[in-house]
Amino acid sequence: MTTLPGDLVEAAGRCLVLGFDGTALPDELKRLADTGLGGVILHTRNVAGRSELRSLTDELRALRPGLLVTVDQEGGGISHLARAGAPETPGNWALGVADDTGLTGAVADALARHLTECGVTVSFAPVADVHRVAANPIVRTRAFGADPVHAARHVTAWIEATLAAGVAPCAKHFPGHGSTTVDSHLGAAVDARDEQVLRETDLLPFRAAVAAGVPLVMTAHVVYPALDPAAPATLSRRILTDLLRTELGFEGVIVTDALEMKAIADGVGEAAAAVAAIGAGADQLIIARPDPGLWLRCRDALVEAMADGRLDPARVVEAARRVDALAERFAQPPPPSHSPVADIGLRAARRAIRWKPLPGPVLDPFVVDLHRPPKPALEWSRTDLVRVLREVMPGTDGVAATRDPVDVADVLRRAQGRPLLIATEDPDLHPWQAAVRTALLAGRPDALLIATGLPDAETEAADGLCVYGRGRANLRAVAEALL
C-alpha cells in the first residue's frame, strides 16, 4: 500500500462499515479499529442472545469509542435481532394499511429501544422507497405504500420516533428502488422513468426524511437514466452531490448499500466502486461480506486513489468528519428511559388485517402455506404459518412449501373434513403458487385464501384474509382472526 500520512489512512478507515462472521471479533477487524474503522454492521450470524450481543457491542466500543454499531432492523420479516428478543412487528406495508402515524411511531420506538438495550445505535431503517411497479421483486411490503405522500407521512413518523429514542435512523434507498424489476442484490437494476415522474413520486419521502432531520441516507445501486445515464446512484455525483446534497439540502452521512451486491460487484467491482462512491459524495461504504481481504482491498483502493490523484484527499477528510459528527451524537447508546408500548407489533398487525368477517371460528384447520425462500442478506430465517397456528391451535395440520412440487392429491386427502386454508406470498411474482392454489381450489372451492404478501386479484375477489407481511406478528394476527 502506498504510504500516506496516518491521518489520511484513518480518514479512509472512517469510510468503512464492515460485516463479520460469528460472535467473536476477527483479528483483522480489531486491527482496522486501531486505524480508524468507522463502523460495523451486525447480522443474525453475530447474535447468540441479548446479553451476548450487548457484550459484543461493548467490546466493539472498547476497541474505539467512536465506532458506529449498525444493523438492518426494518421490522416485519427483516429482523436480524430476533435471537436477542427483538419486538415482533408487522412490517411497513401493514403499518401503511393501518395508516396511523402514531402507531408507526410507537413501532419504531419499540424497535429503537430494543436496539439501545443491545448496544446498537444506528438502524438502517426506514425504507423510504415507494412501491410503484407490481413486478418489483425487492421492495414490496418493505415500503409503507404506493402513494408517495402517504409513505412520506409514515417515514417522518418513523424517523422522529427513532431519533427520540437516541438511535440514528437511515432513509433508504435513495432516490428510490420501488420501480425496478430487478433486485440489485442479484443484478443490474434500471429505473427508466422520466425525471418529472421521479421528482413527483420517489423523491417525496426522501424530502420528508431530510426535513425530519434524518442523519443518514442510504444509496440505491440503481441506474436512473433521466438523472445520470452513466452510473448507478451509488456512484453518481449528479445524484449524491447535486441532487441529495445541494438540491435536497441533506447534510448528514450518505452511506452506500453493500458494495458486494451484484449490481456493483459484477459491474465496476467493489474496490473501484469504493473510490467512485466516495468521489461521488458518499461518506461511508458498507461491506457486509465477512471477508477481510475485501475490506483491505477497498480501504487500500481509497488510499491509492488519494496518493495518485484520482481521489481528492479533502473529499475523504470531509467524509470522515461527517462520520465523526454522527458518532459524536450516536456512537454511545443512551441510558434506558421509558418502556415501549407492550405488544405494539401485534397491535399494529391486528389493525392492518383486511378481510371479510367469518361466520364463526375456524378451528384446527389444514394449512397450505406457499411462500418464497428467505432473501439472502435480508432474511436469515422465516416462520411458516402452520407452525404459528399450531401454537394457538395444537390440532392444526398442514404443509409449508417454498417451491413446487406440492402433492395436491395428498393435501386434499389429508384436509378432508376440516377447514382448508391456502396462504400465498406474492403469487403474481411466483406463478407456481397460483398454479398450486388453482389446483387446490378445484377440489376445495370452500377453501379460505390468505395473502401474506401483497394480495393478488384472486385473493381480493374471494374476500380473502390479507395481512401484508410475513413477520411473526402478521401470522399471529392471522391466528387471532381465525379464532
Across the strands, what pairs with 216?
Answer: 170, 253
> Measured between alpha carbons, how far is 37 from 13 in angstroms, rounded to an integer?
4
| CB contact set of 248 (below 8 Å; sequence gap of 6+) | 203, 206, 207, 210
Q: Is 410 a catalytic residue?
A: no
Contact, 121 vs 61, CB < 8 A?
Answer: no
Angstrom distance (rounded) from CA 6 to CA 148: 45
CA distance 470 to 449: 15
Beta strands, E only, 402-464: 420-424, 448-451
Lookup: cell for 241 = 452531490
Q: H-helix or E-strand containing 39? A: strand 39-42
CA proximity to 107, closest of 318, 317, 352, 335: 352
| Closest by CA position to 41, among listed 319, 333, 321, 257 | 257
Cell of 153: 407521512
The verdict on whether 257 is a catalytic residue reads: yes
Residues 257, 369, 384, 456: which is the catalytic one?
257
| Catalytic residue (one of 173, 177, 185, 371) | 185
Distance CA 13, CA 442 (A): 61
Angle at 374 between CA 368 and CA 380, to 5 degrees: 125
Active site (catalytic) residues: 185, 257
